[in-house]
Structure 1
Amino acid sequence: MQHGKYRFIVGFLALPLLIYAIFVISPFVQAFQISTTEWSGLRGAAKSVGLGNYDKLLHSDEFWNALGHNVIMLVLVPIATLTLGLFFAFMLNVGGRARRGAVITGVRGASFYKFVYFFPQVISITIISVIWFNIYNPDPHDGMLNSLLGAVGLDSLQSSWLGERSIALACIMVVMVWANVGFYVVLFSAAMASIPREIYEASLLDGANRLHTFFRITLPLLWDTVQTGWVYMGIIAMDAFALVQIMSVNMGGPDGATDVVPLRLYQTAFRDSQFGYAAAMGVAMLVVTLLFAVLTMRFARRERIEF
Structure 2
Amino acid sequence: MKATTAVLLPCYNEEQTIGKVISDFHAALPEADIYVYDNNSTDRTAQKAKEAGAIVRQEPRQGKGNVIRAMFEDIDANVYVMADGDDTYPADAAPAMVQKVLDGYDMVIGDRLSSTYFQENKRPFHNIGNRVVRGFINSLFNAHVTDIMTGYRAFSFTYVKTYPILSKGFEVETEMTIHSLDKNVRLYEMPIQYRDRPEGSVSKLDTVGDGLKVLSTIFRMIREYRPLPFFGGLGAVIDITGIALVISVLIDFWNTGAVARFPTLIGSVLLILVGLLSIVTGIILDVIAKNDRKSYITNSNIFSYLKRAELSDKE
Q: TM-score, normalised by structure 1?
A: 0.25
Q: Specify which structure has the higher proportion of strand.
A: 2
Higher helix proportion, which one? 1
Which has the bigger relative contact order, CA under 8 A and spacing at least 6? 1
